[in-house]
């Protein structure tokens, strides 16, 4: 029996995840989007997995730029998450990046200054699976805000996870 997309999305709503803004910059321009499908793959070399819908503008930009930064959002970034998800009418990069303070690390992808954690990466591999691209991204720099409480997405709403 096939699982419907609706059943899958309902079930996935029960699989909590940190809320991230994935950014890129380079020859294809600056872009960013909200994503929760991010996880660690290996620590040697340090690598993340990032899944983005192929219809997302940031997907093409990341492929062309070859770099990305996973900005793990702190608890007070719920509005910024909505901005980068396109829920507040901010459809172009200039509008989105006018919110928050942005810096650069090794790859020059935008880094949110007060992110709980920022993983600055080079794309090592991209694989198409169904409607999404799975990016394997090797980490070149990390910046950690040790006292930041993380913004968490569970059951279709935001939650705050305190720092340890």
Give pLDDT tens digits for 6-59: 998 888 888 889 999 999 999 999 999 999 999 999 999 999 999 999 999 999
Is the pLDDT confidence value at 91 over 80? no
Q: What is the CA radius of gyration of the chain?
A: 15
pTM score, whole prediction: 0.93
Respond yes or no on whether the N-terminal peptide bond of residue 45 is cis (omega within 30° of 0).
yes
Q: Which residue has the tokens 């608890």?
A: 75
Write out pLDDT tens, residues 95-123: 999 999 999 999 999 999 999 999 999 99
The contacts of residue 47 (CB under 8 Å, 6+ apart) are 40, 41, 124, 136, 137, 138, 139
Q: Which residue has the tokens 């793959």?
A: 41
Beta bridge partners of 102: 112
17-155: which CATH topology? Answer: Pnp Oxidase; Chain A (2.30.110)
DSSP symbol at 80: H
Instruction: State how far the alpha carbon of 130 is from the alpha carbons of 8, 112, 137, in Å.
Output: 14, 30, 19
Beta bridge partners of 154: 157
Nearest to 21 by CA among 64, 46, 58: 58
């Amino acid at each position: 029996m096939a699982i419907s997309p609706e059943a899958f999305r309902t079930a996935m709503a029960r699989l909590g995840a940190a809320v991230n803004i994935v950014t890129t910059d380079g020859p294809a321009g600056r872009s960013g989007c909200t994503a929760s499908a991010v996880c660690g793959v290996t620590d040697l070399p340090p690598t993340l997995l990032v899944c983005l819908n192929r219809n997302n503008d940031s997907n093409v930009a990341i492929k062309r730029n070859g770099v990305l930064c996973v900005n793990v959002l702190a608890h007070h970034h719920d509005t910024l998450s909505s901005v980068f998800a396109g829920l507040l009418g901010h459809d172009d990069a200039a509008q989105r990046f006018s919110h928050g303070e942005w810096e650069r690390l090794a790859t020059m992808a935008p880094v949110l200054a007060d992110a709980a954690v920022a993983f600055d990466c080079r794309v090592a591999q991209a694989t198409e699976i169904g409607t999404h691209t799975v990016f394997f991204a090797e980490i070149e720099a990390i910046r950690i805000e040790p006292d930041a409480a993380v913004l968490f997405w569970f059951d279709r709403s935001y939650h705050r996870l305190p720092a340890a």
